[in-house]
Chains A and B, each alone.
Chain A
Amino acid sequence: MLEAQSLFSFYGKSPIIQDVSFRIAPGSFTSVLGRNGVGKTTLLRTIMGLTDGIGGRLFFNGTDLGRTRTYARGPMGIGYIPQGREIIPRFTVRENIVMGTYARPDRKRDIPDYIFELFPILREFLHRRGGDLSGGQQQQLAIARALAMDPKLLLLDEPTEGIQPNIVRQIEDVILKLNRELGITVVLVEQNVHFARRASDQFIVLDKGRVALTGSGEELSDEIADKHLTF
């Protein structure tokens, strides 16, 4: 579904992602792990076309993303949930979710019902401003926004960072459900090894912009975690 061949990605002249290759199968769950500042976020931003330039090749369902503008990538079915959630603070919850539908190729503007079944709290707060929600609620909103576009692939950047533990579990369950029950392909950037291990079909460990290690979910041992993720 998503394939990178010797991918480089630049901010200015400095290559943040260097020579990264991977292949992500439809319906799979991939975790991208690594310490702070190794390029995990940049990798997702590269997939969305938000870096200054790329080298190598990047394909989504056979389309060369190197030739696709950012605004055209959403409608192809890539839903991005950025780090820090980045919901629109002055928009109401409803407007935020509707914004997701702008990326629908079929131009429908109604919000699928299952979103509110997943996040009942959002139905309750439909007319509150996004900026007034708590961190956990904002995260739910960010996911809901991405779901409103009916994505085939979800890119999640540290969705549980800075969120109260009880909601973390809830969000993790939703992400799992989206993958297992709705068949949405998931790429998850995460620091929490336990969730990555529980959920992933495959994992990629990045170090200094390069792939340090890959493997299947079960292979994600404590040793690897200690070596690449602690500190």
Chain B
Amino acid sequence: MAQLELKQLVAQFGGVFAVNKLDLSIRQGELRCLLGPNGAGKSTTLDLICGKTPPTGGQIVFDGRDITNLAEFRRARAGIGRKFQTPSVFKELSVIENLELARSREPGVLASLRVFRTRVTGRLREVLELVSLQDDIHTRAGNLSHGQMQWLEIAMLLVQDANLLLFDEPTAGMTIQETHRTGEIFNSLKGSHTMIVVEHDMSFVRQIAETVTVMHQGSLLAEGCIEEVESDPGVREAYLGDGGRDHA
């Protein structure tokens, strides 16, 4: 049973099709990597799922519910979490404040009026330890290293208790060690969380990937396990430019 289904999804910006009739179906607990050259529509696909961009056509079904036209905060409440390309943690807030903010099971105003302290227990402690930020909870997020900010944002998605996590280049700007550690975090989340990861770092993709989907010019180009996709001639052409021409 698919948890997320995109049906003939279209996003059009002034005549350009950023996403063109995309079909995608993702199981509960699956980790799906989304690949493709620049401008293939990967980020736009994530934008469509989380509600940042309204689609011009097609349908998005999440947990059996049509969410195509839902406001973004309602999608978040339905369990969709999004990590953006550049780390978008709140730089003026401390680590713990960022996490408290992300912990939004009761996002109403009245509920928020009653919360004054954040106790580092339970799930929060687990998550902090997972991303090794337990010693920095009072550091202002803007003073964290780039990799730590990325981790903080991942942690925020985890405490948000989102079921579907959308990651846009989670390892951008990380060192090799940090990237590897991120891969471990992702692997530990498999099964309990559904994830879609847009990524260019292939060693990272190899570390985490089950199924990969390759997009090109807004549509699906190939889908399968990583070896299959890598040997697909269409994929190679999309990446390396107009490949056949020079040899012809």
A and B touching (C-beta < 8 Å)? yes
Residue ranges of A at the interface with B (Cβ–Cβ < 8 Å):
14, 35-37, 158, 160-162, 165, 168-169, 191-195, 198, 225, 229-231
Minimal Cβ-Cβ distance residue in B for A168: B242
Given A36-B38, A37-B172, A161-B39, verify A229-B200 contact (CB < 8 Å): no
A191 touches B38 (CB 8 A): yes
The answer to whether B239 has its CB under 8 Å from any CB of chain A is: yes
Residue ranges of B at the interface with A (Cβ–Cβ < 8 Å):
35, 37-39, 146, 169, 172-173, 200, 202, 205, 230, 236, 239-243, 245-246
A153 to chain B, nearest CB (A): 24
* Residues in B neighbouring A194, C-beta threshold 8 A: 240-243, 245-246
A231 touches B38 (CB 8 A): no
A161 to B216, CA, bound (A): 13
A204 to B53, CA, bound (A): 37
Give which listed residue, A195, A198, A229, contacts B239 with CB less than 8 A. A229
Q: Counting chain B CB atoms within 10 Å of each CB, which of A36, A191, A193, A231 scores highest?
A: A231
A231 touches B202 (CB 8 A): yes
Give which listed residue, B169, B173, B230, B242, contacts A14 with CB less than 8 A. B173
Given A161-B39, A231-B205, verify A225-B200 contact (CB < 8 Å): no
* Residues in A neighbouring B39, C-beta threshold 8 A: 161-162
B246 touches A230 (CB 8 A): no
Contact sample, A vs B, 19 pairs, CB 8 Å cutoff? A14-B146, A36-B38, A36-B200, A158-B38, A161-B39, A168-B242, A191-B38, A192-B242, A193-B241, A194-B242, A194-B245, A194-B246, A198-B246, A225-B240, A229-B239, A230-B239, A230-B240, A231-B200, A231-B230
* Residues in B neighbouring A195, C-beta threshold 8 A: 241
A179 to B146, CA, bound (A): 40
A189 to chain B, nearest CB (A): 11
Interchain residue pairs A-B with the least CB separation, the first 6: A192-B241, A231-B202, A194-B246, A36-B200, A35-B200, A230-B239
* Residues in A neighbouring B37, C-beta threshold 8 A: 36, 191
* Residues in A neighbouring B239, C-beta threshold 8 A: 191, 229-231
A193 touches B240 (CB 8 A): yes
* Residues in A neighbouring B240, C-beta threshold 8 A: 191-194, 225, 229-230
Minimal Cβ-Cβ distance residue in A for B236: A230
A221 to B186, CA, bound (A): 34
Minimal Cβ-Cβ distance residue in B for A38: B200
* Residues in A neighbouring B202, C-beta threshold 8 A: 230-231
A145 to B200, CA, bound (A): 33
* Residues in B neighbouring A191, C-beta threshold 8 A: 37-38, 239-241
* Residues in A neighbouring B236, C-beta threshold 8 A: 230
A37 touches B243 (CB 8 A): no
* Residues in B neighbouring A198, C-beta threshold 8 A: 246
* Residues in B neighbouring A192, C-beta threshold 8 A: 240-242
B50 to chain A, nearest CB (A): 21
B20 to chain A, nearest CB (A): 14
B14 to chain A, nearest CB (A): 10
B35 touches A231 (CB 8 A): yes
A158 to B246, CA, bound (A): 18
Given A191-B38, A230-B236, verify A165-B242 contact (CB < 8 Å): yes
A162 to B236, CA, bound (A): 17
Minimal Cβ-Cβ distance residue in B for A135: B16
* Residues in B neighbouring A225, C-beta threshold 8 A: 240
Minimal Cβ-Cβ distance residue in B for A84: B39
Minimal Cβ-Cβ distance residue in B for A169: B245
A37 touches B241 (CB 8 A): no
A194 to B241, CA, bound (A): 7
* Residues in B neighbouring A229, C-beta threshold 8 A: 239-240
